[in-house]
């Protein structure tokens, strides 16, 4: 799993990146098995872009991260460095019924 947050200078830039990102990734990961992407909106920080990626293994994660580097170069705005980048394995998952 990988959690990424990028903090933009304003909400307009964050929204533009989110739209750019979400428009393309549906097609970019359609052939990558068991890869899951969730974008989370923080209503208290509308200038942030928050993504949660889930991968079945490190190989898949590395494949997607390479695609991200290539894909992000096509964004015409300024992409800030990651404010938060957490990557690791899920050790406990509790799901209620």
Q: Give the contacts of 36 (CB within 8 A, at least 6 positions apart).
A: 53, 54
Average pLDDT, the chain: 90
CATH top-level class of 2-87: alpha beta
From residue 76, alpha-carbon distances to 21, 52, 73 in Å are 12, 23, 8
Q: Which of 60, 62, 42 is nearest to 51 (CA)?
A: 42
Q: Identify the helix (H) or strand (E) that includes residue 7.
A: strand 2-7
Q: What is the DSSP string of 20-70?
A: HHHHHHHHHTTTSTT-EEEEE--TT-TTEEEEEEE-SSHHHHHHHHHHHHH
CB 1 within 8 A of CB 90: yes
pLDDT, tens digit (0-9, with 9 covering 90-100), for 19-47: 998 888 888 888 899 999 999 999 999 99
Tens digit of each residue's pLDDT (9 = 90 or more) over 40-64: 999 999 999 999 999 999 999 999 9
Asked whether the predicted pLDDT for residue 91 surpasses 90, the reply is no
């Amino acid at each position: 799993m990988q959690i990424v947050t990028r903090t933009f200078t304003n909400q307009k830039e964050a929204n533009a990146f989110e739209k750019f990102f979400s428009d393309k990734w549906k097609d970019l990961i359609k052939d990558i098995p068991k890869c899951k992407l969730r974008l989370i909106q923080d209503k208290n920080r509308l200038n942030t872009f928050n993504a949660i990626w889930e991968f079945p293994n490190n190989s898949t994660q590395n494949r997607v991260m390479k695609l991200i580097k290539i894909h992000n170069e096509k964004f015409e705005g300024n992409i800030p460095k990651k404010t938060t980048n957490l990557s690791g394995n899920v050790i406990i998952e509790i799901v209620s019924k």
